[in-house]
Amino acid sequence: MFLALGALCERVCRSSFVACVAVSAILIPIVVAVALPQMSYYRGLSGLDSALLVLLAMQLIRIEWSSDCLVATTATCGLAGFMLKTAYECVARSTMSVRPESSFAPLPLVHIVGGIIGLIIALQGGNHGHKSHPTAVQPN
C-alpha cells in the first residue's frame, strides 16, 4: 500500500509527498510514545499509509473537481471510507482487516494522526507537480 500510494502522491506533487512522509515519519512515533508510553515498540506503516491516502484524495479532489468529476467523486468516496473505517476502529477497538485472534493491537490513533498530517500537507501544498493538467496559456 505504501509503494502504491507513494508512487501516486509523488506523481501528483513530489514536494507534498516528501513533506508528508517526512512529517509523518517524525510525528507519528512521537505521538505514539507520548500517548501510549506502555507500548515498547511500534513498527507499522499504516499511519504513513493513512497520511498518503488523505493527501492523495485531497489533491485529486482539488485538481480534478472542475475537469473530471468522476475522479474527484471517487477520491471523495475514498476519503469518506477512510473516515468511516477509522471511526469504526475507534469505537470497536478492532480493525476491519485483522482477525480478532491475532496478537496485533489496533492503533487507530496512528491513522488519525496520519490522516491529519495528510490533510494539512494537502491544504498547504499546491498541485504544481501534477503532470496531467498543464497550465493553460492565455492569449494576448
| pLDDT tens per residue, range 12-45 | 999 999 999 999 999 999 999 999 888 887 777 8
Model confidence, pTM: 0.81
* Domain coordinates in residue numbering, the chain: 2-37+45-124
CB 123 within 8 Å of CB 57? no
Rounded Cα–Cα distance for residues 74 and 64 (Å): 11
pLDDT band at 98 (very low <50, low <70, confident <90, very high): low
Residues 38-60, mean pLDDT to the nearest whole number? 90
Q: Using one digit for the tens of pLDDT, what is the confidence trace for 119-130?
A: 999 999 754 444
Mean pLDDT of the chain: 83
